[in-house]
């Protein structure tokens, strides 16, 4: 299991919220050192602790686990789709064009 990716996602979300490790630790009744160990991938929280962290950060477990779930690609695809939906139509078309070109390039490489 890639503990570092889970910890990095926790850290990323905490920072997006402008929250310090100490604040998150207080919200979930843990020590700042333990939060730091989780974010560095040194420790993995128990399920109950993981849920408290996800709730404190107002984030889904799917997002935190996307790099370790078999459905991770589907989750990432869904997140990208939501981000693209929020763009202007011209930007959406540009991104879709690039992705389609990359898919074709990938097919070409796979056939060689």
Query: Cα–Cα distances in Å, from 68 out to 11, 40, 59?
Result: 17, 16, 16
11 and 41 part of one domain: yes
> Can you list the alpha helix ranges (DSSP code H) found in the chain?
3-16, 21-28, 32-39, 47-56, 61-65, 72-85, 89-111
- pLDDT score at 75: 65
CATH number at residue 12: 1.10.260.40
Same structural domain for residues 60 and 77? Answer: no
- Domain extent for 15: 3-65
Same domain, 17 and 43: yes
Total number of domains constituting the chain: 2
| Stretches in the chain below the pLDDT threshold 50 | 72
The reply to whether 59 and 40 lie within a common domain is yes
Together in a domain, 85 and 107:
yes
pLDDT at 101: 87
């Amino acid at each position: 299991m890639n503990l570092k990716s889970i910890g990095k996602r926790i850290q990323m979300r905490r920072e997006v919220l402008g929250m310090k490790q100490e604040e998150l630790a207080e919200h979930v009744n843990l020590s700042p050192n333990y939060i730091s160990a989780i974010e560095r991938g040194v420790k993995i929280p128990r399920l109950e602790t993981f849920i408290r962290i996800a709730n404190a950060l107002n984030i889904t477990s799917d997002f935190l686990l996307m790099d370790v779930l078999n459905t991770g690609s589907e989750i990432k695809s869904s997140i990208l789709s939501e981000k693209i939906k929020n763009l202007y139509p011209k930007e959406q078309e540009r991104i879709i064009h690039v992705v389609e070109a990359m898919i074709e390039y990938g097919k070409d490489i796979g056939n060689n």
